[in-house]
Structure 1
Amino acid sequence: MISNIIDQEIKKAMLAKNTAQLRGLRAIKAALLLAKTEKGSSEEITEETELKILQKLIKQRRESADIYKQQNREDLYQVEEEEIEVINQFLPKQLDRAEVAAIIETVIKQSGATSVKDMGKVMGMANAALAGKADGKLIAEIVKEKLA
């Protein structure tokens, strides 16, 4: 489970006095704890849910970083980028566009989709196949291209 690794990494970052790493790790831990208490204390969070939470954190950080960049706030932009780097350490390697397109191609063949009307069905299967390995925005973009 990612949460166990995070606890160990927080201790290491504290000992090394690495504030950037520590800030990112604490953000992850807070998000995981929030998700755990949301579901109910008796349930453990699945690894798939943990990956979704991490992707959500990265998406939030990217949006903030873009806003800071537009407003010429380089200091805050840098903080967000550091946190993105820390969070990325706990995600599986992201596939590039060509690899995602190849997987989506096989998903489309399996589903028998022929038009954009079938996008919902293809997206469901594609998201399951690419869970944690690609950004949802990229998946949707490629599915739309292939079905158009």
Structure 2
Amino acid sequence: MRDEINAALKQAMKDKNSNRLSTLRLISAAIKDRDIAARSDGNDARVSDEEVLAILVKMVKQRQESARVYEEGNRLDLSERELSEIVIIEEFLPRQLSAEKTEAVIAQAIADTGAESIRDMGKVMGILKSKYTGQIDFGAAGALVKAALTKN
């Protein structure tokens, strides 16, 4: 995944695409920051692709929130910039699962964990996060899991 980002960064430099280049540099910086934090914790290895996915998902969420705030403040120029950064970041994320597939995955996770009540929600969400980071909106998934567990 890092190789993809670095290749895209180099291509943006060659193309002299400043907007894309700045966004890719932000991604690269966020990954390097996480690497440094991991090293300070005593881990010499670079962060995994799963952690890179988590970084990218977090970056998308931050930009969505910023875009919403800018729109409310009638700063459409800044909102458009945030939205364009989201498009670039999402190029490196796996495709989002459809609503039907998300429900099927949640049902499978509930079955795999043997979850029976809302107290087991953490187990279900843990499985979903380990297998589907970047593919599911966990805010929406949490509500679906909660609804499914309260039916039981």
- What is the aligned partner in structure 1 of residue 18 from structure 2? 19
- What is the aligned partner in structure 2 of residue 147 from structure 1? 149
5+ long unaligned stretches in structure 1 = none
Identity, % of aligned positions: 37
- Please state if 1:131 is matched with 2:133: yes
Spell out structure 1 runs of 4+ moving beyond 6 A.
none
- CA drift at 1:136: 1.6
**Aligned with 1:102 (options 86, 101, 104):** 104
5+ long unaligned stretches in structure 2 = none
How do residues 78-117 of structure 1 correspond to structure 2 at under 5 angstroms? 78-117=80-119
Does structure 2 conserve the Cα–Cα contact (< 8 Å) formed by 1:127 and 1:139?
Answer: no
Aligned residues: 147
- What is the aligned partner in structure 2 of residue 10 from structure 1? 9
Does structure 2 conserve the Cα–Cα contact (< 8 Å) formed by 1:51 and 1:91?
Answer: yes
- What is the aligned partner in structure 2 of residue 50 from structure 1? 52
More deviation, 77-86/94-103: 94-103
Residue by residue, what CA displacement relative to the aligned partner does 1:40-66 show, whole Å, maximum 9, x if unpaired? 172111111111111111111111111
**CA distance in structure 1 between the partners assigned to 2:99 and 2:74 by the alignment:** 30
**CA distance in structure 2 between the partners assigned to 1:7 and 1:129 by the alignment:** 25
**Aligned with 2:76 (options 74, 77, 84):** 74
- AA aligned opposite 1:93: R
- CA drift at 1:3: 2.0
- CA drift at 1:67: 0.5
- CA drift at 1:76: 0.3
**CA distance in structure 2 between the partners assigned to 1:37 and 1:112 by the alignment:** 38
Does structure 2 conserve the Cα–Cα contact (< 8 Å) formed by 1:23 and 1:83?
Answer: no
